[in-house]
Amino acid sequence: MEIKEETFTFLYSSDARIRHSHKRIKNQITGFVVQLEIFVKSKWCPIVRYDTRHGFAHKDIVHSSGKVEKIPLPIQDFNEALTYAEDELRVEWEFFKMNYLMEVGHE
């Protein structure tokens, strides 16, 4: 079986982007990373990442202090978890961005 890897970058605004990478065998996702990054303090910073590292689908919330909060996704089928991650970011990216910028403002 051949593993195919696909990588994309989507701009949501001039200072927010999604970096998406997934591996699959036929139509079955075997792993993924979907990361929201914002441009702050002259560099791109990851603020929310959904991935399957460590063998399970989870969300990492990256705080401005560098602390990472790991939250298991409610769905562990990787195909469904990838769709969940994409949908949640599409709806919530501005909320995640605002929270991060509020943290940065308090540093």
Cα–Cα dist 63/46, whole Å: 9
Q: What is the pLDDT of residues 30-68, one digit of tens each?
A: 999 999 999 998 999 999 999 999 899 999 999 999 999
Give yes or no for residue 107 having a pLDDT over 80.
no
Retrieve residue 35's tokens.
């990361």
CB atoms within 10 A of CB 77: 13
pTM: 0.92
Number of structural domains (the chain) is: 1
**In terms of residue numbers, what domain contains 79?**
3-105
The CA-atom distances, in angstroms, between 83 and each of 48, 67, 86, 100 are 15, 26, 5, 23
